[in-house]
A and B are shown apart, each in its own frame.
Chain A
């Protein structure tokens, strides 16, 4: 393995913490230089944040107005052009990376290893399959160029304190115009981001209504936590889709996960396996969530949650 390229995820202003987790994943191959690529309309600010990550030796910036909103069809040809000399190209296994990296892999003619949990060597990787009900070890032949996405929940973020060199790149590629950004409706919130929060309060179908689900926001604010939801709560319309935690939603690894009125379907548990401490509150003592909870409390959530809020002062 001669060199690693990590594709930065950002919103034009801030580097997404998932990028720092990719750096930790890549650092398992000690002695292999790590480069981060920042593609943006104006990459300056984000590039500085990337350059400050410990373990990064170089930051490549690609400035192009077409990169204002990340679109795989537009980004992939630029990345494929700058990735030519790298042996491993990584991106986060977020919706950004899941959308983009296979398109990069296709242009490079390289295999992609999705949701990397661990790099065991330059040719050996571990990743989950079957909704994390099995872990596979995948091998490639020596010298194979590889693309990968990194499972954020498996890694801590790299620390800052680095001082990588910045270098501008101008990939000579024609960008397609067949894909156009229209809008993004981000639920703007002062709460921590669900994907990276240290604490998460998550509600299920037992909340009974969108009105009832507001209880989660109140408790989350008390704890300085992000809010999550089970698929059942999202499907029922109590919570919006970006809050969904689980196999088909977000896979998270907070220090504290409080599951309220969530029975604990296997698909939900997949999303919280790496949480440090799980608390479950449910009126059904037989709910599967109690099998994985560090602290379980059986009872009526509409009584218990206000009590907890009060106790937290």
Chain B
């Protein structure tokens, strides 16, 4: 069967203004709205569109996280994924609870070996740790192509043509399948979930695998020792018109 594997991460919602814990050990997540990482939502939408176009037959959504991540997997099923897998990590607070990208990619590789997808689509980065690593690492461990920061994906036969958002503009790569694609913002606009779909999603299969059962080394090689607020910029002065502005910039030698 032609399968697409999509990875999603449960993160603090895009619209939440994060707060640091006073002791610098992390950020406050109690009572904070959690959502699917926005780039992962785009990844799922792309997989669903490919299935709807007939280019794939099954969309499997995977998350690595605590039992709470089942909420985000149910949302993904409501969006249209066929089945879900939660690779469950032990619940405990702290910044170091999350798997490092190398371990997360190792976990995804185990699922890739089991499911044999033609394509793995992930978000280009998670908006919590902002690492932007997992897709590239998975592609390397799997020894398959990667097409990161995708803004357009076209499949034909055993090949994907992917347009990527790069600093210079847009780059197009051709990659043999199977491959890993990571999504940029403008790839698509994810659909809204409708109420009947939420009801239907409750009946879709959601498998839970304890992370320890996969035999992937999970020991962290990096340790976050402190969270700090970023340095704040000071509010400057208001000028009354263009002349005063240009004069001020002249005085500082900026124009």
Contacts and interface: CB of A to CB of B under 8 A. Distances in A.
Interface of A: 11, 71-73, 76, 94-96, 98-103, 105-107, 109-115, 124, 128-141, 144, 176, 178-187, 195, 199, 223, 231, 234-235, 240-242, 247-248, 250, 255-256, 266, 273, 277-279, 290-299, 304, 307-308, 311-312
A138 B165 contact: no
Contacts of A72: 136, 139, 146, 148
Interface in B98-133: 100-102, 105, 127-133
Contact of B229 (A134, A255, A297): A134
A126 B173 CA distance: 34
Interface string B227-248: 1111001011111111101101
Contact of A312 (B147, B221, B246): B246
30 contacts: A72-B146, A73-B139, A73-B145, A95-B165, A105-B102, A106-B105, A106-B137, A106-B140, A130-B12, A133-B230, A134-B18, A134-B229, A135-B227, A136-B226, A138-B225, A139-B224, A141-B221, A178-B144, A179-B145, A179-B174, A181-B172, A185-B171, A199-B254, A241-B151, A241-B170, A273-B230, A294-B237, A296-B239, A297-B238, A297-B239
Given A129-B130, A256-B255, A180 B238 contact: no
A98 B129 CA distance: 14
B194 interface: no
B224 A102 contact: no
Contacts of B140: 76, 102-103, 106-107
A311 B18 CA distance: 42
Contact of A242 (B147, B165, B224, B226): B165
B176 to A, nearest CB: 4
B148 A98 contact: yes
List of 8 A-B pairs having minimum Cβ-Cβ separation, nearest first: A106-B140, A294-B236, A102-B136, A307-B242, A102-B133, A182-B172, A106-B137, A111-B221
A121 to B, nearest CB: 12
Interface in B21-71: 27
B27 A134 contact: yes
Q: Of A99, A184, A185, which is in contact with the most chain B CB atoms at under 10 Å from its CB?
A: A99
Contacts of A140: 221-223
Given A102-B101, A105-B137, A312-B255, A184 B146 contact: no
B199 interface: no
Contacts of A139: 222-225
